[in-house]
Copies of this chain bind each other. A is one copy, B any other.
């Protein structure tokens, strides 16, 4: 039996949450889970429909994107996951979807503005939208460069991937992550709802104002601060 059995099972279960949460159509998405001790991660195979996906189809890959175990070709987005796992050592799982409202925002190249406490419960910044990369980078090692596109945008904006756990890749679609892959899946569903709320507010009242700082701090702190009092301890 493979030493990666549990990792594959966890990855499989996370992937199966995506259609259940209404975040993927056909094969448009993938989830991955890292094993920091072995420096590998498990990821969905490319183009396999969710209704036939099995735990043993999950592919094990190293941080350069090289296959370690599995008979199938890994997701075409594997190199993006690999770079994020390699560079951001605090994250445990990554999810990529083309969920409808988040992708519609990515297509506009606009950040999703923080307009309410639902957003502030999860992050204190607008959801960043990274601009498309240069033609040279696109024509080069595209998926690897997509990883840099995300990381560079975080550095440019001085954002921490442990505080802002989601991004829109401009003209493409969202990526989310988290300490665990279950958290990454949760962030994908939250992002889709934040994108939908902001779409509705912005079309109803163009030029709507951002949430004020005191409310941003209050809602974020009550869930994530040192004295948080949300949830069970």
Contacts and interface: CB of A to CB of B under 8 A. Distances in A.
A142 B227 CA distance: 14
Interface stretch (A11-19, A114-122, A159-167): A114-122
Contacts of A196: 100, 104
A201 interface: yes
A202 B199 CA distance: 11
A118 to B, nearest CB: 5
Nearest to A71: B232
Q: What number of copies of this chain does the assembly contain?
A: 4
A177 to B, nearest CB: 18
Interface stretch (A1-9, A32-40, A45-53, A150-158): A45-53
A66 interface: no
B173 A230 contact: no
A209 B107 CA distance: 9
A98 B138 CA distance: 36
Pick the most buried of A47, A73, A116: most chain B CB atoms within 10 A of its CB: A116
Interface string A210-233: 011111001000100000011111
Contact of A186 (B26, B115, B202, B208): B26
